[in-house]
Structure 1
Amino acid sequence: MEGVELVESNGTITTEEDAKKAGELFNRGDVDLLLIQSINADSGILVTILGQKVRKPILIWSTPEPTLHNTALVANSLCGAMIIAATLRRLGIKYKHLHGWPEDEKLREALNKSIRVLGCISVLKESKLGLVGYQSPGFHHVSFDEMLLRRTFGTSVQHIDLSEVYAEAGVLDKGELAREMSAIKREGMCKDVKEEDFEKSAAISISLRRLAEKYSIHAFAVKCFPEFVDIFKLAPCVAVGRTTDEGLMTACEGDMIGALTMLIEHYLTGKAVFFVDIIAMDKESNTGVVWHCGNAPICMAEDPGKVMLEQHSILGVESPRGLTREFACKTGPVTCARLSEREGGYRMYAIGGEAVKGDPSLRGTSMKIKFHQPVEKISEVLFRDGVENHFAVVYGDIRDELEEFSSWLGIDSVIL
């Protein structure tokens, strides 16, 4: 796999000394996971030494018995894998079992998936979220426990005052600002937009980019109102969308766990993620509509030639309304996810579906989804559990990955 470095033991591990040396080798290599092939049945001595020395997640790989007809056991690999699993459970070391021949496509898919998931968990420990401002007024439901986040995922938080964003935006080079404005204008057709809106949107885009570089930020949660509108005279939707386009996942309304959910999906897929509200569900068609003001990454547009750059559709006409990118999203399989902070922990919600052709006349950015599960069931679960209104949508079905992600971290998951 691309981006994966292998650290191999020096031959088959058959003695306690082999296990100790392999553990030292893996620790020097700073590995993120161990792949242990169970060649035959053995006691738990070797895996105990290796597991305790390295203390990393373990993938146990067993192979089918070559033959069960008119012969003694040749390998007994599956039994050996069960011994390893039972030993690791008692040691409190996380593991997963894989079974099959090397050429088995299902085995390869399962292995690749686990590597992606464990890679995501590993890189989250080195990631930093930027909280710009705090949650928007009244958004108590997206408040978060910073140390619970740090304890669970290893992810750190950088607090950035809105004044720092405004200050950075106010000292930009005119040439850089002009180039950013031109890039924004090329993204869509303009309607009722002032030059000032382009200038301020460009300034905030550059400001967020610079702050990400300054503080080594991997994702943002931005308090996008009321201060942006009241003080900076701009709704920052375009800037939020542009940072996401560039691989810097950015959530609205100061939703930090929403930003973390976006980052998880991004790490698992390498794709941009759409931060949304669920605004409609229809029982007859088993569809729902997810939407936000105008922050979607432009790579999701159904028709890039029909993207509109318009004034904000929600803010009143008497207010400075800023700039939004408005379009319906393209079709394809999608996953809607929400990591929800519960009492003393987290729960992962993942909903699968197919993005279908939506209504292009709906203001803002939107996606119509035909769900795999009945909308009545989805609605019942979300309201029963008091799940937050914000979800992160990415193209591709990664429900299995999110379920496995949760399992490795000891997080409950609800997969729909």
Structure 2
Amino acid sequence: MRIAVFCLARPTFDVDLASQTAETAVASLAASGAEVLGDAQLLMDAPAVEARLDAVKEQPLDGVLIVQATFCDAAMTSAIGATLAAPVAIWAFPEPRDGGRLRLNSFCGLSLASHALGKIGRRCGWLHAPATASPDLAALFADSGAGPAPRAARPGAAPGLACRVGLVGEHPAGFDTCGFDEAELTSRFGVDVERIDLETLFAAARAADGARIGALKSQAAERLEGIETLDGEQVERSLRCYSALRDMAEERQLDGFAVRCWPETFTEYGCAVCGAMATLNGERIPASCEADMLGTVGSRLLQSLADGPAMLTDIVDFDAEDDTAVLWHCGLAPLDFCDPDFAPRATIHTNRRMPLLHEFPLKPGRVTVARISQAQSELKMVVGRGEILRRPMSFTGTSGVIRFDCGAEVARRALIDAQLEHHVSITYGDVKSGVEAAAAAADLPLLDLDAL
């Protein structure tokens, strides 16, 4: 088979490891008998991808392999899928759950890329395996067919999805998973979007009362170990963001936030806003990163059903042998979610190296996982259940090891074959029937992971 290769990466991850992984994967591809067009050079921006496209787009191809060397936005994947007609496949790589930095976050990149391809009408084969694996190319590039089909939700009474959400900035480019149709959101769910630009947030944060920020810092020091070891000015900026968002929630009567958390909070304001949003989640003002509006609406639904906090998270790893997956985010979990055997810590963002974030493993217990999805450009509700296991912390930030009721392999296949978003919302407790009823009330088809 004649295969064009694109090794995609982002420089904020572990570039040395990504380079080694890409080189090994391309060598494995060549050893499998493929004629490889391209090489293991990491492509980190649109011009690099365009140059590779120019080199191969006139060539006869049997397939296009995207090597997901690290997590990255899906703009480059969308350009590849829109330019080349040959079948597309994506290779993502597991990494050890050793409690350290999520060095590649490759599987989450696969999820984001698969969703983006679905939005432009392209399906993809995929492989989640070490770079030393010998890929079955015929199977990898074969049409994977339709993903799991949603079914009609059973009717029933349910709390409404109506709420008022502050959209702070716009979602980052290449994050189609976080886009939304505002008119449809309002007419179908009764969601009112209040747009707030980032500079308004930063100005309000800078103007926050100093005495109040001092009190917040003292409270944070009581709850989080190690806060005194972090950059004091950056910690204060993060607390100022919390103060500003909390005031906006009260003054504008907002039920939650969808915040463009990067890059500007780091590059223009000078802190991580993750800890601020984690605190809001604990106060039942759900806050989603990457300006994920549908993620916030889904978290608020779970929160109302469970009468407890909810949060947005990535699914970053699957282990079929252990029958588990890992839910992770930089540090977005509320303290209510902390394993009681672990003392929560203050930490810095693993890529941007700025505070303030929460760090701890999630507490054991039953959870409900849900997502209002627009995968393949069709609104649907996704729901499943699982058990958070008491395990050591998988990666820095906040993470939990989950055993899905449907099993790890079924959940992994559903996530990628249905081209779902990379974000899901979770809450503790079994509120699946309420999610089903909410879907029925909103006339949303239901993708029930437990029934697959």
Shorter-chain TM-score above 0.5: yes
Tell me the equivalent position of 1:412. 445
Q: 1:141 Cα deviation (Å)?
A: 2.5
1:370-393 CA-to-partner distances (Å, cap 9, x unmatched) read 111122222222112110000111
Q: Tell me how far apart the structure 2 counterparts of residues 304 and 220 of structure 1 sit (CA, whole Å).
A: 30
Please, which of 201, 214, 217 is the counterpart of residue 251 of structure 2?
214
| Match in the other structure for 1:190 | 226
Tell me how far apart the structure 1 counterparts of residues 345 and 369 of structure 2 sit (CA, whole Å).
Answer: 25
Alignment match, 1:399: 432
Equivalent residue for 1:159?
195
CA–CA separation in structure 1 for the residues paired with 2:306 and 2:263: 33
Equivalent residue number for residue 51 of structure 1: none
Cα distance in structure 2, aligned partners of 1:323 and 1:136: 21
Q: Is 1:269 paired with 2:306?
A: yes
Cα distance per residue 1:326-360 (max 9 Å; x no partner): 00010010011111024665211112111101222
Q: Is residue 184–residue 202 contact of structure 1 (8 Å, CA) maintained in 2?
A: no
The answer to whether the Cα contact below 8 Å between 1:335 and 1:393 also exists between their aligned partners in 2 is yes
Change (3 A) 1:304 1:151: farther
- Higher relative contact order, structure no. (Cα contacts within 8 Å, ≥ 6 residues apart): 2
Which residue type is aligned with residue 281 of structure 1?
F
Match of 1:379? 412
Q: 2-side partners of 1:196 and 1:350: how far apart?
A: 41
CA contact (8 A) 1:250 1:259 kept: yes
Between the aligned partners of 1:306 and 1:344, the Cα distance in structure 2 is: 42
3-state SS of paired residue (1:177): helix
Q: 1:351 to 1:182 in 2, by over 3 A?
A: same
| Segment drifting more, 278-287 vs 189-198 | 189-198
SS at 2:223 equivalent: coil
* Structure-1 separation of matches of 2:270 and 2:182: 30
Amino acid at match of 1:280: D
Distance 2:387 2:341 in 1: 20
Match of 1:335 among 368, 392, 397: 368
The letter for the 1-side match of 2:171 is Q
Contact 2:375/2:418 (<8 A) preserved: no
User: Segments of 4+ in structure 1 off by > 6 A?
Assistant: none
The amino acid across from 2:264 in the alignment is E
Distance of aligned partners of 1:383 and 1:95 in 2 relative to their CA distance in 1, 3 Å threshold = closer
> Are 1:253 and 2:286 matched, yes or no?
no
Q: Which moved more, 1:234-243 or 1:398-407?
A: 398-407
Say whether the 8 Å CA contact 1:345–1:411 is kept in structure 2: no
Tell me if structure 1 keeps the 8 A contact 2:282–2:335. yes
Unaligned 5+ runs, structure 2: 1-152
C-alpha distance 244-181 of structure 1, shift in aligned 2 (>3 A): same
Deviates more, 1:305-314 or 1:382-391: 305-314
Aligned-partner Cα distance in 1 for 2:318–2:392: 14
Note closer, same or farther for the CA distance 1:343–1:150 as it changes in structure 2 (3 Å cut): farther
Q: Distance in 2 between matches of 1:309 and 1:129?
A: 28
Paired residues of 1:142 and 1:255 also in contact (CA < 8 A): yes
The answer to whether structure 1 residue 390 and structure 2 residue 423 are counterparts is yes
Moved more, 372-381 or 211-220: 372-381
Q: What is the root-mean-square deviation in Å for CA atoms of aligned residues? A: 1.8
* 2:382 maps to 1:346: no
| Aligned-pair identity (%) | 29
What residue in structure 2 maps to residue 139 of structure 1? 175
**C-alpha displacement at 1:195, in angstroms?**
1.4
Q: Render the CA deviation track for 1:126-160: whole Å, top value 9, x for unaligned.
A: x2011000102321222110011111111110000
Correspondence 1:347-362 to 2 at 5 A:
347-360=380-393, 362=395
Residues 227 and 194 from structure 1, CA distance in 2 versus in 1: closer, same or farther, beyond 3 angstroms? same
TM-score between the two structures when normalised by the length of structure 2: 0.63
What's the secondary structure of 1:231's corresponding residue?
helix
Conserved? CA contact 1:356–1:370, under 8 Å? yes
Contact 1:336 1:392 in 2 (8 A): yes
1:169 matched residue in structure 2? 205
Name the structure 2 match of 1:366: 399
Provide the rounded CA distance (Å) in 1 between the counterparts of 2:406 and 2:185: 30
Supply the distance in 1 between the matched residues of 2:267 and 2:364 (Cα, whole angstroms): 37
Measure the CA separation in 1 of the matches of 2:399 and 2:326. Answer: 7
Residue range with higher mean Cα deviation, 354-363 or 330-339: 354-363
What is the CA–CA distance in structure 2 between the aligned matches of 1:301 and 1:373, rounded to whole Å?
25
Alpha carbons 1:135, 1:143 under 8 Å: kept:
yes
Q: Aligned to 2:269, what secondary structure does the other structure show?
A: coil
Q: What is the alpha-carbon distance in structure 1 between the residues aligned to residue 439 and residue 154 of structure 2? A: 13
| Runs of 5+ consecutive residues of structure 1 not aligned to the other structure | 1-93, 97-113
Change (3 A) 1:322 1:137: farther
- Alignment-derived partner of residue 30 in structure 1: none
SS of the residue corresponding to residue 382 of structure 1 reads helix
Alignment of 1:205 with 2:238, yes or no, is: no
Report the Cα distance in structure 2 between the residues aligned to 1:381 and 1:146, rounded to whole angstroms.
27
Partner of 2:217: 181
Matched residue SS, 1:189: coil
Deviation per residue, 1:285-327 (Å, 9 max, x gap)? 2111100001100111003751110121122x5xxx1221100
Residue identity in the other structure for 2:416: F
TM-fit CA distance, 1:208: 0.2
Corresponding residue for 2:84?
none
